[in-house]
Chain A
Amino acid sequence: MNANEHRRLLGFDPEDLDGHTIEELSDYLEAGRVPPDPLIDESASCQIALEALERLGPLTQQLFAADTAAEAGADQGWVQRILSSISFDARAGRRIPIAPAEAGADLGITEGAVRGLIRGAERAAPGALLGKCTLHGDITEPAAPVSVSVEMSAPYGAAVVELGELVRAEIGAYLAAHTTLNIVSVDVVVRDIHRAPAQTENGT
């Protein structure tokens, strides 16, 4: 499989990551981000993707190995769905206005930054992995009702409802701190159960 096919499989397109590939970002991460590459360091999309890969990275190999050992031929598509969603999250997307305190100020946050923020809520639920995240509603219109839906994969044996509640609460707190969106609901949909060692507090 060549680099382009690999990129397509993971749902990445160079345009999503300011011209960089997921392989380049993975290599950069593995190298400890040295030597510093300003083209990556100054790209918000790359930083969002790197952060998500960093959280997922240590788990990926364990998850593939655990799935393979436990159930030959098992559907491992959820890992790829999560990887694909990282690419989607990293796109800047729409600009969400933030209500200014002073007249004349033009303040906002990108949809990509918000999705990246939402994905970070998985830290609140050890072992859980968040996948596709969608903001429903006209987020470019101040005060318009907006609902959030996010897909989650829970570790086998975990209390799924409690994990979902932890993630929901974390997402709600993040959105309240970082946006002025009129959030009417946050829905967490458990799409998968995976076999994996529980994550530690720092996400490894």
Chain B
Amino acid sequence: MTEATAPLLATEIERSILEVAGVTGLFRSGSAVSKLLEAGEELVGGQRRADPLVRVERTDEGVRVSASIGVRQTSSSVDVLRLAHREVATLLASFELPVASIELTVVHVNGAR
């Protein structure tokens, strides 16, 4: 994986997670300060960049993926996370990429009915 392909891979991972039943969306990861800085940079020019919210890093051990997920209240976060992990692992395997870690976190359970 090159620096150039990382955003493309992140976009693919984002799409695979969003297709999992029960996922309502993806959120920014990191501290409040880092999220603000990141968002501020994106808003220069008045528009958000189309960069994915999933983080993908290349390390000596393999690819590290982290994503912050929203889940529908009527679903089960436990089931959704396990399904999403399987989808991401399958996707990385299809690219023959070694996996260092896949960290998925539910950060919001959407209670809207």
Contacts and interface: CB of A to CB of B under 8 A. Distances in A.
A178 B106 contact: yes
Nearest to B107: A44
Given A18-B36, A102-B85, A178-B71, A47 B108 contact: yes
Contacts of B71: 178
B27 A43 contact: yes
Given A102-B82, A117-B73, A179-B78, A43 B104 contact: no
A178 B48 CA distance: 31
A102 B82 CA distance: 8
B105 A95 contact: yes
Interface string B30-49: 00100110010011000010
A110 B27 CA distance: 13
A123 B73 CA distance: 12
Given A98-B81, A105-B81, A202-B113, 14 more contacts: A38-B48, A42-B27, A42-B39, A45-B32, A95-B105, A100-B85, A106-B103, A107-B103, A107-B105, A108-B81, A108-B104, A113-B108, A177-B76, A179-B78
Contact of B28 (A14, A42, A177, A178): A42
B25 to A, nearest CB: 8
Contact of B73 (A14, A107, A120): A120
Contact of B112 (A14, A45, A51): A51
B70 A98 contact: no
Given A98-B77, A98-B78, A178-B76, A18 B107 contact: no
Closest A-B pairs by Cβ, 3 of them: A44-B107, A120-B111, A178-B77
Contacts of A104: 99, 101-102
Contact of A15 (B32, B102, B106): B32
Interface in B67-107: 68, 70-71, 73, 75-78, 81-82, 85-86, 89, 99, 101-107
B109 interface: yes
Interface centre among B42, B111, B113 (most CB of A within 10 A): B111
17 contacts: A16-B32, A18-B32, A19-B32, A38-B39, A44-B27, A47-B70, A95-B105, A105-B102, A108-B104, A108-B105, A109-B81, A113-B77, A117-B111, A174-B73, A174-B109, A177-B76, A178-B76
B87 to A, nearest CB: 12
A82 interface: no
A15 B39 CA distance: 15
A189 B103 CA distance: 36
A134 B109 CA distance: 17
Contacts of B105: 95, 107-110
Interface string A23-46: 000000000000000110011110
A121 B29 CA distance: 26
